[in-house]
Chains A and B, each alone.
Chain A
Amino acid sequence: MISDRPEPPRRVSSVLLPLLMILAAFTVGAVIPDPTGVVWGLAASGGTIFALRRAGIAIGGTGSAVVVIAGVASTSLTVWLAGAETFDLTPSSTFVLGLVWLVFGGAVGLIVGRLGRPSAGTNTALMWAGAGALAAPMAVTLDLLSPGEPDLTARAAMAVLIALVGGASTLSAATGIRGLAIGATVLVITVFAGAQVGFSLIGLFQNLGAMGDIPNFWPPDFNWAIGEGTWWWLPSWDFGSPTLASPLLETFRIAILGSLIGCLVALPVSFLASRITAPGRLSYLLDKGFMNVIRTIPDLFWAMFFVAAVSIGPFAGVLALIFFSLAIMAKLLSETIDAVDTGPLEAARATGGSHFPAVRVSVLPEVLPNYVAYALYILEINIRASVVLGLVGAGGIGRVLEAQRSFFQFDRVLAVVILIFVIVFIVDQISVALRRRLV
């Protein structure tokens, strides 16, 4: 008896050809001059059907008809909307285009979804809609489409973007190759994001080439940074402002104090934020939720907030770092506690101890080495964070950077940055060595 060979899992390369077909059909259809958009629609849906067949997806006569009708509807509506005088790429026009492409996506999704999991069909429909909604603004950002005058190149650009994301998601939903849809989407988003931030390799090389012409940039001004000392062998490190406490020492002090207090506060907070050691489900959820919110706020936002609250100076910096460290430590430590063996805690409960003493004697010793390692890590992060606190007035060496930057003394900025780099590098190495011995 001959046993059936299992079908080999599909490889990405097996659907690349169909994907190219969809892309080609969309683009070719789009560049054919046709004010109604019907030709575009016929080409696009025809290409999609053919590609699905190639990829081994049975699509019957009725299915084909539905896809063709939906395709023509979507493209002609797009052309009509883009050609209408009201089309000016507001969020609402984007939204409408999304709905328009939901028609085509829905039709394709219906067929794909019938093959296997219904969720695959839903995903397909949504991806087409998303691609349709974003295609026009993307084309504008990429300088391919000028609003109000949808010429053929613009149509082609939109077609490529829509077909890439929509086609890839269709084929990956139909064949179960997840990477395809993800890859296409990530690619499109990256291109779009690159355009948004003004990515340009040529520009970068031009900038780098013109580096020599920047005034006050090179070489870094170390003489100014280290200053004159009382003794020639001991410079003052006063960065040109002898009246202020040495900004470098201030930076360290802020980092140390902020880390210490933050880590101490984090200890009880972490025990409340772990499923295992929280006394109740409600306190766990509240603490965990609050910590998640705290964790979203970047270090300098804390600093700005506290500068506004308690005025300029290192006190604001310390407060900022306390909250910043608290959030990180609470996350690291509570996740460590979550992973701890619960046996000892059960044993402590069995002796009749109350909740917190039982947790103290059974869980704390297990996580203490991790806690110390995390504390060192946080000190390391905080030294890095504390050098920039001064940019917003929260004390430390950043204050010097901000002052020199506002006078365009980039050589001095560079000197300070190099100095900071050396210090942080050394602190990092020490901290890593210590942490390795701990856990």
Chain B
Amino acid sequence: MSTAIAADTVVTRPRPPLRPRVIRWLLTLAVLVPALWSAFGLQISWEQIRSAPADIWRLLVAMFPPDLSPEMVERALPKLMESLWIAWVGTAMGAGLSFLFAFAAATNVTSTWAANGTRMVLNAIRAVPELLVAMVLIPVTGLGAWTGALALGIHSIGTLGKLSAEVIEGIDEGPVEAAAATGGTRLQQIRWGMVPQVMPHVVAYWLYRFEINIRASAVLGVVGAGGIGAELVSQLRFRDFPRAGTVLFLTIFVVLAVDAVSARVRRRIISGQPEPGPIALFREMVGWQRALAAVAVVVVLALVVFILFQLQLAL
């Protein structure tokens, strides 16, 4: 069979090269050795691993259904809102300050030397996790949401500054040159040549950071820097699993909603085109997808109404 396509011409075949195989082996070693070192060094017992699925399942079952009593909702929801406000303020601080830093850290705005220095500072800020920033700040600014917002703001300067600087470095230099050619000052060149180009991407990064900061602010409560985290810690400490379930459930719910809206806005900003609305999306679906979407919408609406009723919003 295999002679069916054989050619009569005789061209010498090359030998399979050695390099890729060696590299593959080295890579495998580079992954395996640290993995084994970690696995054996952690001294996790087989017993623990074997019983883990059952343990996890038991906890999940204990958390379900979550406690959605008016008392718990009224307790958890304001804390969750606090997490949102912390994330918003932290992102706003980070966005504002990082915007200045970003131009300083872009090689096509300042000198290479200054840019690299600024970049180093931004990297350094980025290296400290938000929670640790909060821990260090607590003795200075005290326990509470303000410390949390400050911690998020500081960390966001690092991440947003780096990303924005990369956007600025990636721009088309044409408009800047055009602005220079008209005799504009350096500041005018930046304002009219650069800012309009980078703004959509930078704002998209701000929104993206907001999504991340919500998750970060949710855990700040662990060290006493405000938000929903402290609630989860205490409910788990008292082994009140349905209430811990409430915290998790509400967090997932709110973060999903914010993610969905933010992702939509980001796409809208980047593409510059209006996104298809929910009705247009629904029209495109086929039968079972419509059924699924309808069920999802009804369930979500029912949940929102239910939670609002628990807050005694009813007139």
Contact = CB atoms under 8 A, between A and B. Distances in A.
Interface string A377-421: 000000011011001100100000100010000100110010011
A194 B89 contact: yes
A388 B232 contact: no
Contacts of B149: 197, 199
Interface of B is mostly: helix
Interface string A283-300: 001000000110111111
B313 A91 contact: yes
A309 B55 contact: yes
Nearest to A217: B139
A243 interface: no
Nearest to B44: A315
- Please tell me the size bucket of the interface on B: 35 or more
Nearest to A190: B92
Nearest to B313: A91
Contacts of A369: none
B177 to A, nearest CB: 24
B124 A391 contact: no
B1 interface: no
Contact of B48 (A285, A295, A315): A315
Contact of B42 (A207, A250, A387): A250
Nearest to B254: A296
B145 A417 contact: no
Interface in A324-381: none
B244 A308 contact: yes
Contacts of A167: none
- Please tell me the size bucket of the interface on A: 35 or more
28 contacts: A91-B311, A92-B315, A190-B92, A193-B89, A197-B89, A197-B145, A200-B146, A204-B141, A214-B140, A254-B38, A256-B35, A256-B38, A293-B256, A295-B259, A296-B252, A297-B248, A298-B215, A298-B216, A301-B248, A307-B236, A310-B55, A314-B44, A315-B48, A318-B44, A387-B132, A417-B132, A425-B124, A428-B127
Given A253-B39, A256-B35, 14 more contacts: A95-B315, A214-B140, A250-B42, A292-B256, A298-B219, A301-B219, A308-B241, A309-B58, A315-B48, A391-B222, A401-B135, A413-B135, A417-B132, A425-B127
Interface of B: 31, 34-35, 37-39, 41-44, 48-49, 51-52, 55-56, 58-59, 81-82, 84-86, 88-89, 92, 123-124, 126-129, 131-132, 135-136, 139-142, 144-146, 148-150, 215-216, 218-219, 222-223, 226, 229, 232-233, 236, 239, 241, 244, 248, 251-252, 255-256, 259, 288-289, 292, 308, 311-315
